[in-house]
Amino acid sequence: MTAAAPVRSIASWSRLTDDGRQFLAVAMVVVVGLAAGLGLKLVSENQTRNVTAGGVTAGTPRSWIYQSGAGDLLFSVRDPLHPGLQYSVSLVASGSDLARVVDNQVRAKSGILNDFQQLSREPAASAGRTGQAVTYAYVVTREGRAPAVIQGRDLYLPAAGSVLVISLQSPIATFDDALPGFNRFADSVRS
């Protein structure tokens, strides 16, 4: 019977040249640094603060700029790092039913926003509440600048004698990327 040959690692640490060991050490430091940076980024971006206005509370991104509202608009928050990205919360007296409020709000927006175009209207849910969502686009024109297309989504949810309107507005190029954060925001809104 012959003895089995010892199993050796092909890339044994001792068999590597000094350059090879240095390369592996640097690669490991880079990987650990990138992982730590990604972790820090995720923690800092996902921090929220609670804001309350008109009996409505929401968890807004901590680094965003808060602005109180007037009339039906309770408040809005804007991302200072992404111009044009904004969430807002409004409370609209319902008078009758949700569908009528949605119709009136869409008609009002179409009258004040340039080239307003409703893209979809569908049933929607947020944090166990059901309502309707309207996705739309419009054009912002400013003198001396190219026109910008903004895409928005309004989530309409019934709330004790009124309708809660949770809104997202974003440049059209980043709208799809903004939806997951907006959905987390909408889920945090309580009346």
Enter the pTM of the model.
0.74
pLDDT digits (tens, 9 = 90+) for 138-185: 999 988 989 999 999 999 999 888 899 999 999 999 999 999 999 999
Given a cut of 70, whether residue 4 has pLDDT beyond it is no
Higher pLDDT among residues 59 and 19, named by residue: 59
Given a cut of 60, whether residue 44 has pLDDT beyond it is no
Annotated domain spans of the chain: 13-42, 50-188
pLDDT band with cut points at 50, 70 and 90 for residue 54: confident
pLDDT digits (tens, 9 = 90+) for 56-112: 888 888 889 999 888 899 999 999 999 999 999 999 987 668 899 999 999 999 999
Residue partners of 125: CB distance under 8 A and separation at least 6: 131
Q: What is the pLDDT of residue 127?
A: 81
* SS3 state at 147: coil
Distance CA 71, CA 107 (A): 18
Q: Beta strand 117-126 with 129-140: parallel, antiparallel or unpaired?
A: antiparallel
pLDDT digits (tens, 9 = 90+) for 123-137: 999 888 899 999 999
Q: What is the pLDDT of residue 28?
A: 82
Q: What is the pLDDT of residue 2?
A: 60
Q: What is the pLDDT of residue 77?
A: 94
Residue 128 CA from chain centroid, whole number: 19
CATH architecture of 50-188: 3-Layer(aba) Sandwich (3.40)
Q: What is the pLDDT of residue 40?
A: 58
